[in-house]
């Protein structure tokens, strides 16, 4: 009788373990898409690390290092193929939504999309894809010959570490400007300064 109870308990544990493993595998496989982000130390998945620099002196302000991060998109269920493209929109709360920042990238060869450059900003830009600090929610559409074949959402985290305070002053240049010719020629030195 005790052996029968032991077998019943073991069978229940096996069933529960198999169910738990199935649920875990399902949770892992439901990650719709990802960004592979190139960093100085290698590649990160769905993590964008920046440092903020506070500038003091004649040219105060805030900057980010790096100014841009390079990333590539990858869908977990749709691989790149000829004629495919991906449109990614940043629909994070706090982003300017007229329009939301977006990018259109080729998704036609290799394992990833064409590279996208990502920078800290709240508005749509033409040369960089805008992200803000914290969790960024992205909507994406993979299309083939202009027909949408997959659409979903995914999240990537932007981390901004404090890089300290740096003195930044104007850079000045001088140049000689002349007018007239011969005896009527008059020259003067013109100095101009600007922030880097």
Task: Tell whether 61 and 15 lie within a shared domain.
Answer: no
Using the predicted structure, report yes or no on whether residue 24 has a pLDDT greater than 80: no
For residues 13 and 86, the model is more confident at: 86
Choice among 16-25, 60-69, 92-101 with the minimum mean pLDDT: 16-25
Cα 55 to Cα 60, 63, 69, 120, 173, distances in angstroms: 5, 8, 21, 17, 21
Task: Tell whether 102 and 49 lie within a shared domain.
Answer: yes
pLDDT, tens only, 133-181: 999 999 999 999 999 999 999 999 999 999 999 999 999 999 999 998 8
Using the predicted structure, report yes or no on whether residue 22 has a pLDDT greater than 50: no
**Domains held by the chain: number:** 2
Residue 17 lies in a domain: yes
Using the predicted structure, report yes or no on whether residue 18 has a pLDDT greater than 70: no
Task: Tell whether 103 and 22 lie within a shared domain.
Answer: no
- For residue 128, which of 193, 64, 42, 196 has the smallest C-alpha distance? 64
pLDDT, tens only, 68-95: 999 999 999 999 999 999 999 999 999 9
Instruction: Write out the H or E segment, with its range, that includes residue 186.
Output: strand 186-194
Residue 175 lies in a domain: no
Task: Tell whether 38 and 25 lie within a shared domain.
Answer: no
Task: Tell whether 126 and 116 lie within a shared domain.
Answer: yes
Q: What is the DSSP string of 46-77?
A: SEEEEEEEEEESSS-EEEEESS-EEEEEEESS
Q: What CATH number did the domain enclosing 151 receive?
A: 2.60.40
Task: Tell whether 24 and 44 lie within a shared domain.
Answer: no
Average pLDDT over the chain, rounded to an integer: 89
pTM for the whole structure: 0.74
Residue 2 lies in a domain: yes
pLDDT value of position 12: 61
| Owning domain of residue 9 | 1-30
Task: Tell whether 47 and 25 lie within a shared domain.
Answer: no
Task: Tell whether 15 and 44 lie within a shared domain.
Answer: no
Residue 151 lies in a domain: yes
Helices (H) and strands (E) in the chain, counts: 1, 13
At 9, the pLDDT band (50, 70, 90 cuts) reads low
Task: Tell whether 100 and 136 lie within a shared domain.
Answer: yes
Task: Tell whether 138 and 165 lie within a shared domain.
Answer: yes
Distance of CA 104 to the CA centre of its chain: 14
Residue 82 lies in a domain: yes
C-alpha 147/C-alpha 143 separation (Å) is: 5
C-alpha 137/C-alpha 174 separation (Å) is: 49
Task: Tell whether 2 and 82 lie within a shared domain.
Answer: no
Contacts of 180 (CB under 8 A, 6+ apart): 186
Task: Tell whether 92 and 69 lie within a shared domain.
Answer: yes
Strand order in the sheet with 129-131: 42-45, 33-39, 69-75, 116-120, 129-131
Residue 190 lies in a domain: no
């Amino acid at each position: 009788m005790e052996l029968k109870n032991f077998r019943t308990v073991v069978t229940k544990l096996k069933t529960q373990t198999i169910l738990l493993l199935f649920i875990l595998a399902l949770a892992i496989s439901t990650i719709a898409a990802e960004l592979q982000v190139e960093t100085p130390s290698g590649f990160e998945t769905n993590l964008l690390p920046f440092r903020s620099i506070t500038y003091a002196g004649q040219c105060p302000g805030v900057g980010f290092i790096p100014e841009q991060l390079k990333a590539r998109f990858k869908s977990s269920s749709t691989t790149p193929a000829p004629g495919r493209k991906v449109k990614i929109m940043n629909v994070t709360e706090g982003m300017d939504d007229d329009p939301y920042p977006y990018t259109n990238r080729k998704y036609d060869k290799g394992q990833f999309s064409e590279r996208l450059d990502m920078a800290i900003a709240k508005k749509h830009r033409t040369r960089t894809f805008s992200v803000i600090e914290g969790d960024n929610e992205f909507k994406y559409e993979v299309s083939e010959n202009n027909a949408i074949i997959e659409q979903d959402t995914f999240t990537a985290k932007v981390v901004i570490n404090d890089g300290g305070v740096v003195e930044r002053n104007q850079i000045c240049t001088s140049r000689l400007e002349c007018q007239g010719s011969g005896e009527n020629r008059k020259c003067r030195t013109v100095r101009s300064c600007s922030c880097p």
